[in-house]
Structure 1
Amino acid sequence: MEQKNLKEDLNNIAQKVELRETQLLDFLAVIDRKEIKDKNKLIRAAGIPKATINKILEELKEYLEPLGQSAQFRPEWQQEIHKLLAKSSKENSQYLEEKICALFASLRNKKPLPKRQYDQFYATDQTTAKRALTISRNGDLDGRKIALLGDDDLTSVACALTGTAEKITVLEVDGDIIELIEETSQNLNLGIETIKLDLRDKLPPELARQYDTVFTDPPYTPAGISLFLNSALFLLKKSPLSRIYFCCGGSNRAREKELIIQKIVNEKGLLIKEKFSDFNHYHGAQSIGSTSSLYVCDWTTAARGTPPPNLPIYTFQQQKEMNRKRKKPF
């Protein structure tokens, strides 16, 4: 078997045992670097429940020696597995980050001016690269279908440059951003699909339950976050491996806003797996300290869309409405 087929087989095994491929590779890395002499030590070292370990060992029996003196790869597979693990290493991530940032530097002058009516504030190149690498390291990009709801930061391009996603689709309201993504995708043969769409309109029914991962940096209003999460849930497959990444910013002096975000997420039946504070950095957006957090949410069987508040979704619209009310005579 060639490495490509080994990788495909491991991806299939990961799905069978309901793990992300990166988790299975981490398991193989534990075997590679540790002398594991019994199953209990293997469970502790890998941090995976016993029932799942039993399933993994059964599925990997073609690649592993029987668990006796120590867990180890069969000699005929050692070289191929080592190559695969090396390809997933930190050094490879650093190379990809440099590659992404170099391309984005060349695209800087091609980006249209941010449109305030869409709450556009561009993220730094390093932030966009970090998003793609984080999604990839979490096992939510390799061999998976990812949708991006809004993409003025070109996160889709950064994801495509990893060369690992099965499909990348961008749903974007701004025609100028779509034009730039399409031009870049065509020039680099990235295969990114684009759909011009306002999420306040009905989503195409053929997109329902088609994606493993959804990424979005929505408008930072309760109505905006709710609407974009509803759209993400519409696109997401009903699977324990499905995941939503979304960004949201707020001042440290107004922490109650985070409670509103948590409430919206809870109402949608999503589980906040991780939150990375100050993950995203922007040019502008001083009202939120030019930073925002990245939320990683897992799909659950309770996941469902809920009606968003009947309010403007963009902060720009909200500010205009507030100014109008201030000017209204008593």
Structure 2
Amino acid sequence: MNYIEQASKHIRLQEGIQAIEQLLLECYLKPGISTKELARKTLLPTPVAAAIKRELIKAGALLQDRGVRCTKGGLTWVERNWGYRGLDHSLYHELFDETKWMESIKDVLIILEELLALRPSADVQIDQSKCTPETSLRRAILCLKQHALIGKKILCVGDDDMVSVSIGLLLQRLFPDGGHTVTHVDVLDTDPRFLSYIEKIANERKLPIVCHRLDLREPLPENLHKQYDCFFTDPPYTLQGMSLFVSRGIQALKREKGLPIFLSFAHKSPPLMLAMQREFVCMGLTVSANFPQFNTYEGAEMIANRSQMFILRTTDQSKPEYPEKFTDALYTGEVKRTLRTYRCKQCSKDVYVGMNGEFVTIEQLKNEGCTGCGYDRFEMVDKRQVTADRYDKSNLPMNSTADARNDV
């Protein structure tokens, strides 16, 4: 019997079934919880939380007894289907306390420090940069706090930060007796060095990780579509890189509302942040939370060794910006060295972007809109390498109107 499906048949929620799952989980983790506290924990209006509670009581998962708690059947269902049997409840609650979590899993951090010290060197040509062991572990804790870790299928879209390993080690600490087999982590990456190292660690430490080598410019294989409950990504810090990596993740997610996306991205200027938010809207995503300076990196002076963490959530309008093969410039160095022709999807006017182009960056073009009609969606139709260090009209297509103020 699936209590979640049974309850969702009788109550329509804009938040999706994630809200029902979280409410049931809160009752499991804190027996005797009040309806008002359930509403606070799930960020739902009290009448909505009460309605979900009533449906779960009807379904036989909950009972009202000095607060709300799971029935015996509800307890068994949560432990069997979501894998909570054997959970160290005391540690679980400590990890939600910002003042205690680091001390509680200091032993895990020590292991991570040893493992990450031996990871391959960063390849700056593909915008790799190494986050610190503490940052990698903080991402796993954030996933736990969002109820997106235990019992879930998790995807890492690129994983030179080895978040997959942090998740695996955290699970072992949360389930000290072993036997937890419900959570799975998959890794997509183009770098065979990191994939081999992650696989080696997973095999030696029996972590639930599977690696897939994939150039994310290529379409996502069909067998990875609609499989996952959340994903992590720390993409190249270009607008195209962010949109591509998030697009691949969206394709991999289950078709449900409210699924979390953990996106790490450099702190950028207001125009680029505006362009990013345009991309979020275009892909049907909402910004659930933003944590400035959440991530710390080793030797990444170009981004001041820090980046922010977005938690995005899916809606019933979520779709990838780039569902097919990607042909645009992707990495920072590549973007800076090219002149690209974008065609307006509304009036078909060609606009030139990049070195000596009409617009320096695609985010500038999207913010200002097509020079012909003002529309803000484009497709790239041509790309060429530009080697000139200074403004040179010989690099421009014949009908370009760029001027020297657009120099890179």
TM band (smaller chain): 0.7 to 0.9
Q: Quote the offset at 1:190 in angstroms.
A: 0.5
**1:147/1:211 contact within 8 Å kept:** yes
Provide the aligned length of Structure 1 versus Structure 2: 309
Indicate the residue corresponding to 2:358 in structure 1: none
**2:234/2:265 contact within 8 Å kept:** yes
Q: Letter of the aligned partner of 1:176 in structure 2?
A: R
Distance in 2, matches of 1:111 and 1:136, equals 25
The counterpart of 2:236, out of the listed 219, 243, 246, is 219
Q: TM-score, normalised by structure 1?
A: 0.81
1:257 equivalent to 2:320? Answer: no
Give aligned-pair identity as a percent: 25
Indicate the residue corresponding to 1:59 in structure 2: 56
Any idea what the Cα deviations from partners look like across 1:107-159, whole Å, max 9, x if unmatched? 23421111011101100111100000001111111111111110001001111
Indicate the residue corresponding to 2:320 in structure 1: 305
Indicate the residue corresponding to 1:101 in structure 2: 109
Pairs within 5 Å for 1:1-330: 13=3, 16=7, 18-19=17-18, 23-27=23-27, 32=32, 41=36, 48-49=44-45, 50-60=47-57, 66=64, 70-71=66-67, 73=69, 85-90=89-94, 93-94=101-102, 97-163=105-171, 166-251=183-268, 254-307=269-322, 311-321=328-338, 322=355, 324-326=387-389, 329=392, 330=394
Distance in 1, matches of 2:48 and 2:309, equals 32
Distance in 1, matches of 2:232 and 2:40, equals 31
Note the aligned Cα RMSD (angstroms). 3.2
Q: Letter of the aligned partner of 2:292 in structure 1?
A: S
Distance in 1, matches of 2:207 and 2:4, equals 26
Cα 1:27–1:114, aligned 2, differ >3 Å: closer, same or farther? same
Deviates more, 1:257-266 or 1:21-30: 21-30
Distance in 2, matches of 1:166 and 1:59, equals 24
Distance in 2, matches of 1:119 and 1:297, equals 22
Q: Quote the offset at 1:297 in angstroms.
A: 1.0
- Look at both structures and tell me which one has the larger radius of gyration over its CA atoms: 2
> 1:170 is paired with a residue of what secondary structure?
strand
Q: Quote the offset at 1:65 in angstroms.
A: 5.5
Distance in 2, matches of 1:318 and 1:289, equals 21
Q: Quote the offset at 1:255 in angstroms.
A: 2.3
Name the structure with the higher strand share.
Answer: 2
Any idea what the Cα deviations from partners look like across 1:276-296, whole Å, max 9, x if unmatched? 111111112222221111111
Distance in 2, matches of 1:134 and 1:44, equals 21
Distance in 1, matches of 2:260 and 2:69, equals 31
**2:183/2:208 contact within 8 Å kept:** no
Q: TM-score, normalised by structure 2?
A: 0.67
Give 5+ residue unaligned stretches, structure 1. Answer: 1-8
**1:199/1:228 contact within 8 Å kept:** yes
Distance in 1, matches of 2:110 and 2:255, equals 37
- Structure with the larger RCO, 1 or 2 (CA within 8 Å, 6+ apart): 1
**1:218/1:228 contact within 8 Å kept:** yes
**1:65/1:74 contact within 8 Å kept:** yes
Q: Letter of the aligned partner of 2:232 in structure 1?
A: F
Cα 1:121–1:65, aligned 2, differ >3 Å: closer, same or farther? closer
Distance in 1, matches of 2:332 and 2:37, equals 51
Q: Letter of the aligned partner of 1:71 in structure 2?
A: G
Name the structure with the higher helix share.
Answer: 1
Q: Quote the offset at 1:201 in angstroms.
A: 0.9
Q: Quote the offset at 1:187 in angstroms.
A: 0.6
Distance in 1, matches of 2:387 and 2:315, equals 41
Any idea what the Cα deviations from partners look like across 1:284-322, whole Å, max 9, x if unmatched? 222222111111111111111224996411112223445
Give 5+ residue unaligned stretches, structure 2. Answer: 9-16, 80-84, 172-179, 339-354, 356-385, 395-408
> 1:303 is paired with a residue of what secondary structure?
coil
Distance in 1, matches of 2:220 and 2:185, equals 17
Cα 1:54–1:180, aligned 2, differ >3 Å: closer, same or farther? same
Any idea what the Cα deviations from partners look like across 1:76-105, whole Å, max 9, x if unmatched? 899x99x87535211584466424321222
